[in-house]
Amino acid sequence: MKPTTVFSIKKQPLKVLFAVALLLLCSLTFLLIKRISYMNQAANWVNQTNVVRLSLSETLSKLKDVEVDQRGFLLSKDSSFLDNSNMNKERVMKHLDTLRALVSDNPVQLKQADTLNNLVNKRLDLLQTLRANYGNKVAPFGPSLTTDLLTGKQVMDAVKDRLQIMENIEKQLLKQHITTNKHYVFTTPFYAILLTTAALLIILFAIMKLDKQLNLSNQEGQLAGKEAKKAGALLENAEHSAHIASWEWNLATQYIDRSDNLYRLFGYEPGSFKTDTCYVLELMDKEDRDNALQKIEQCRVQGISTCTCQFWATCKNGERRYFQCITWFSKNEKGEEIITGTTQDITEEYLLKQEAKKRAYLTEQVVEHNEDLILVLDTELRVTLFNKSYEKAFGTTRSEVLGKKVTEVFPYIGDVKLSLIKEALEGKETIRQQLGFLKDQRTGEISFIPLRDSQGNFEGMLLIVHDITELKQATELLQDHNIRFEQAEQAGNLGSYRRNVQTGDATISDNLYRLFGVEPGSVTPSLELFFEFLHPEDKLKTIEAVHRNVITGVIAPVRCRIIRKDGAIRYIKASAIPVRNEKGQTVIYGSILDVTEEEMLKQELEQRTALMESIIENTDNLISAVDTDMRYMIWNKTIENTLGLQREDVIGKKLLEVFPEVEKHPNFRLIQQGLKGHPSYRIEYIDNRSGTTAETSHTPLRDNEGKVTGLLIVSHDITERKRAAKILEEVNTELKLKNKQLLQSNEELTSFNYVASHDLQEPLRKIQTFANFLEESEPGLSEQGKNSVKRMQLAAARMRNLIKDLLAFSRVEMESELQELVDLNRVLTAATSSLKNAINEKGATIIAGELPVVQGVAFKLQQLFQNLIGNAMKYCSLGNTPVINITSHKVLAGKDTDLGLQPGTEYHHICFKDNGIGFEQQYADKIFELFQRLHTQNEYPGTGLGLAICKKIVQVHGGHILASSQPGEGSLFEIYLPVAEVMEAV
């Protein structure tokens, strides 16, 4: 920061001077304050009188609103009028209470207010009686109603008279208060001038005295400045080397004093920032800036002396750096708040910390989510860390384990294991031991790993426990399985063998000897011995299959017949898998199953199958079946023709081989469930190959024991039915959506209509009331003031016209849904009738041919005609009589049209041609936009909504409107409305 010059001023001689000056100023100030107080009191009287008059106007306005709402309810029976009436009643009573409070200091007006209150209550009671007597009647008109209405009118007239009396009294009071206020306004400035003159004299005298004192201390200041420069240079060098800068911010004057290094930290030249602008805030990231300002302000308000915050900022070269700011709060000798701070670039330090946190987090996650149990012990064997797997295994919490010794955590650890831990702590390498200490009688393998610091000193022990329960159980289960397998072989007519392909050595189970009709161990097992038992008809193909399996390394199942030693012929099925042993040799592990009974049943089943296949082939349904392995067993002709997949390409293959994409299809889960015995019926399925939709049933196939052997899949093509249903659903959905949109639109427009017709127009009515009030209450209003009031009234009138047009624009969409056949000849007649006065005034001539009948809303089409005819008359050049030609004929929309018409559709082409002032063709689209005008209000008044409403009406009728013109040649408005289909049929 820049060195500050130190001044030493002798203050003692000035104390007496300032004491006298202060006493004089206080006296003059007291007199001025008294005058201002009187002036304010007079102004308050004027203001109170105006408020009373405005309250009188508001009371009458709200009371009239109550009458209007009551009449609306009697005529329409719409309960919404009652809600408005009750609300306005409350407002009337509130205004009366306010009025009484305002005139409480005036006995005459207070008495008038009480009388007014009684009359208003009487009027409200009469309105309540009207609603009770006639609110439920269909036709409430009659002599009794007339009498009640006249009575109410008399009371209302009395209310108005009472309000007028109070208004007159307030006018007199207003004149008195204005006179008093003018007096104080005139005299008070003289007191202010007197006070200012005295203050200036005192200040001038003080400046002269201070100048003398400053001259004496100038030499001392120069000497102090030299010392400060030396200190500043030393500080600047220190800041530069430490990437730190200092600054001082005067909150009262907004002056910011910065050291040169602050500019360099952000890549700028010293002095680049304005002294009254905290430019560093603009360099900070928005979120960091908001947080820093909030934290600094919070510390300042709470009286905390220092505040530290960190933030990201973008330097001049575009590089983002991370800074730390430390601030101190104090006050100078003037009592002004000062924020002193240092800003340091800590980007590298911050990034290193973030990287360290990231690595620590990743390490923590690896440990925390490891399936092994992990504990860390200190040198005293106390637990300092453990993961979730330990919590899950033992059901303990961190508070129950942390800080405890390992012998307390693992009560199963004996002296032997404890000695292993101590050995590891003394320098042994990793030690692993099997330990049965997990809960639920599980077994784990525990590893003791010593932990060392960077210098090799022991800091603790890492214990990793790996659950080997399943492995141990699997070993025991394998031993038990061998015993059971031998028993199963005997029970299932099954034998097993093992043969080394390279050495030819073979071993077979005892039951395999029995399958061939020989005693176990009576012969030496070999492949050649197996070939001797083969049936002559099957020997050649079986030997070829075996040799093919050996050559290819793919062991395919072999089915053949054998002739036992006792001469009996049996059917067998041989299956095997090749395995590489530790020497790299191929060992074949196989089994041979006696399938004689199965083969007999198979032959019988083939006969039955032939009959079923005949039935399946001649049905229109798509029929297929898979076995429990999802291999296709059935694929009928119908599905073959439908999907284009030949039977030979499907039978025997798995479902996912034929249709790999079906695994992602929801029906695949139903197939899986069906193979588990859970049927599903009439499930819709879309075939992506053919694009057809089928109704599919999945029926489990069971054997005699009820076991699932496969799944029958029957599909019926419902493509056409689904297509028709989809079309119907889309139509219904579209209708529901349109109905919903219509209801929402109606609700929104109803709300808008209420706002536009009441809430928006009410302030305008008050503005006009207040303008009239100004004219009456200020008879001496200047000419400029009167012009301002008139402009206010004209602006309010224009605003009401704008609201009316906006209301009309918003209703177009809502009412367009209620369309009917409309004769445009009648619409034109109604439009010219509404514009009769304007037509007569302008002397306009309207020439129209025969107009068509269209589908639409008569009221909206009439508004369309009125706006176009009204525009033609408004924009007629001076001295000319408006002439409007209206023609119509049918056209057929072509494909090359750029009007947005539906190609091939007939439209009524309706043209409005006038002889007005015209416009440049470049504005042909702009004139249809909201609030777009080509002329000023003074030239041609309007809201700029007329043609926008026309465009909206035409669009909701399914048509299009465009304009063409040249200055001075009139304008042509072309409308395209679709020909009504009903009329064409007639």
Residue 852 scores a pLDDT above 90: yes
Residues 6+ apart with CB under 8 A from 158: 119
pLDDT digits (tens, 9 = 90+) for 29-45: 777 677 677 667 766 77
Of 380, 378, 377, 379, residue with least CA distance to 390: 377
Residue 283 and residue 345: Cα distance in Å, rounded?
Answer: 14
Residue 461 and residue 898: Cα distance in Å, rounded?
Answer: 83
Contact criterion met (CB below 8 Å) for 683 and 667: yes
Give pLDDT, residue 532: 87
Residue 634 DSSP symbol: E
| Confidence tier at 972 by pLDDT (50, 70, 90) | very high
Residue 9 scores a pLDDT above 50: no
Residue 965 scores a pLDDT above 80: yes
Contact criterion met (CB below 8 Å) for 946 and 873: no
Q: How far is CA 140 from CA 66, 126, 143, 144, 146, in A?
A: 19, 16, 10, 9, 10
Q: Is 403 helix (H, G, I), strand (E, B) or coil?
A: coil
Contact criterion met (CB below 8 Å) for 345 and 261: no
Residue 246 and residue 287: Cα distance in Å, rounded?
Answer: 23
Q: Is 724 helix (H, G, I), strand (E, B) or coil?
A: helix
Residues 6+ apart with CB under 8 A from 369: 387, 388
pLDDT digits (tens, 9 = 90+) for 224-252: 455 545 545 545 555 565 578 888 888 88
CA atoms within 13 A on the CB side of 957: 32
Residue-by-residue DSSP string for 302-340: HT-SEEEEEEEEE-TTS-EEEEEEEEEEEE-TT--EEEE
Residue 826 and residue 87: Cα distance in Å, rounded?
Answer: 43
* Mean pLDDT, range 21-25, rounded to an integer: 68
| Angle of CA points 337, 343, 349, to nearest 5° | 150
pLDDT digits (tens, 9 = 90+) for 701-758: 888 888 988 988 888 778 777 777 778 888 778 877 877 776 676 666 556 655 655 5
Q: In what order do the strands lie in the sheet with 883-892?
A: 845-848, 883-892, 906-914, 971-978, 960-965
Cα 161 from chain centroid (whole Å): 59
Contact criterion met (CB below 8 Å) for 919 and 971: yes
Residue 291 scores a pLDDT above 50: yes
Q: Is 152 helix (H, G, I), strand (E, B) or coil?
A: helix
The β-bridge partners of 562 are: 534, 570
| % helix, strand, coil for the chain, step of 5 | 55, 20, 25
Residue 851 and residue 855: Cα distance in Å, rounded?
Answer: 13
| Confidence tier at 10 by pLDDT (50, 70, 90) | very low
Residue 525 DSSP symbol: -
Across 435-444, 455-464, 473-482, least confident range: 435-444
Across 48-52, 343-347, 435-439, 749-753, least confident range: 435-439
Residue type at position 218: N
Of 183, 150, 49, 155, residue with least CA distance to 105: 49
Residue 354 and residue 348: Cα distance in Å, rounded?
Answer: 10
| Confidence tier at 799 by pLDDT (50, 70, 90) | low
Put simply, whether the predicted model's pTM sits higher than 0.85 gets the answer: no
- Give me 960's structure tokens: 């299009």
* Mean pLDDT, range 799-821, rounded to an integer: 61
Choice between 437 and 89, residue whose per-residue pLDDT is larger: 89
Residue 881 DSSP symbol: P
pLDDT digits (tens, 9 = 90+) for 590-636: 888 888 888 888 877 777 777 677 777 777 788 888 998 999 988 88
| Confidence tier at 375 by pLDDT (50, 70, 90) | confident
| Confidence tier at 480 by pLDDT (50, 70, 90) | low
Give pLDDT, residue 3: 41
Contact criterion met (CB below 8 Å) for 105 and 115: no
Choice between 336 and 377, residue whose per-residue pLDDT is larger: 336
- Give me 425's structure tokens: 């702590």
Give pLDDT, residue 974: 92
Which range has highest mean pLDDT (34-43, 102-111, 764-773, 931-940)? Answer: 102-111
* Sign of the torsion angle spanned by Cα atoms 153, 155, 156, 161: positive
| Confidence tier at 918 by pLDDT (50, 70, 90) | confident
| Confidence tier at 902 by pLDDT (50, 70, 90) | confident
Residue 404 DSSP symbol: S
Give pLDDT, residue 986: 34
Residue 808 phi, psi dihedral angles, 5° rounding? -65, -40
The β-bridge partners of 712 are: 625, 699
| Confidence tier at 851 by pLDDT (50, 70, 90) | very high
The β-bridge partners of 701 are: 710
Residues 6+ apart with CB under 8 A from 582: none
Architecture (CATH level 2) of domain 243-352: 2-Layer Sandwich (3.30)
Listed in sequence order, the DSSP H helices in 843-956 are 858-874, 946-956
Class of domain 369-472: alpha beta
Across 306-315, 778-787, 966-975, least confident range: 778-787
Contact criterion met (CB below 8 Å) for 890 and 911: no
- Count, residues in the chain: 986
Architecture (CATH level 2) of domain 816-985: 2-Layer Sandwich (3.30)
Across 255-259, 470-474, 517-521, 563-567, least confident range: 470-474
Using left for φ > 0, alpha for ψ between -120 and 50, and beta otherwise, residue 695 falls in: beta
pLDDT mean across residues, the chain: 77
Residue 510 and residue 527: Cα distance in Å, rounded?
Answer: 16
pLDDT digits (tens, 9 = 90+) for 877-892: 777 889 999 999 999 8
Q: Is 229 helix (H, G, I), strand (E, B) or coil?
A: helix
- The hierarchical CATH code for the domain 12-222 is 1.20.1440.210
The fold for domain 492-593 equals Beta-Lactamase (3.30.450)
* Residue whose entry in the numeric block shows the structure tokens 């022991």: 458
pLDDT digits (tens, 9 = 90+) for 173-213: 777 777 776 776 667 676 667 767 776 677 677 667 666 66
Residue-by-residue DSSP string for 529-562: HHHHTB-HHHHHHHHHHHHHHHHHS----EEEEE
Residues 6+ apart with CB under 8 A from 697: 679, 680, 681, 682, 683, 713, 714, 715
Maximum alpha-carbon separation in the chain? 147
Residue 381 scores a pLDDT above 90: no
Give pLDDT, residue 8: 38
Residue 147 scores a pLDDT above 60: yes
Residue 384 scores a pLDDT above 60: yes
Cα end-to-end distance, the chain, whole Å? 95
Domain spans of the chain, in order of start: 12-222, 243-352, 369-472, 492-593, 619-717, 816-985
| Angle of CA points 743, 748, 754, to nearest 5° | 125
Percent of the chain whose predicted confidence (pLDDT) is above 90: 7
Choice between 11 and 985, residue whose per-residue pLDDT is larger: 11
Superfamily the domain 619-717 falls into: PAS domain (3.30.450.20)
Give pLDDT, residue 878: 77
Contact criterion met (CB below 8 Å) for 85 and 73: yes
Residue 570 phi, psi dihedral angles, 5° rounding? -130, 150
492-593 and 619-717 share one CATH topology? yes
Across 390-404, 515-529, 854-868, least confident range: 390-404
* Mean pLDDT, range 295-308, rounded to an integer: 86
* Mean pLDDT, range 874-879, rounded to an integer: 80
Contact criterion met (CB below 8 Å) for 643 and 650: no
Dihedral of the alpha carbons of 158, 160, 162, 163, in degrees to the nearest 10: 160
- Give me 916's structure tokens: 């007005």
Residue 738 and residue 334: Cα distance in Å, rounded?
Answer: 71
* Mean pLDDT, range 133-146, rounded to an integer: 64
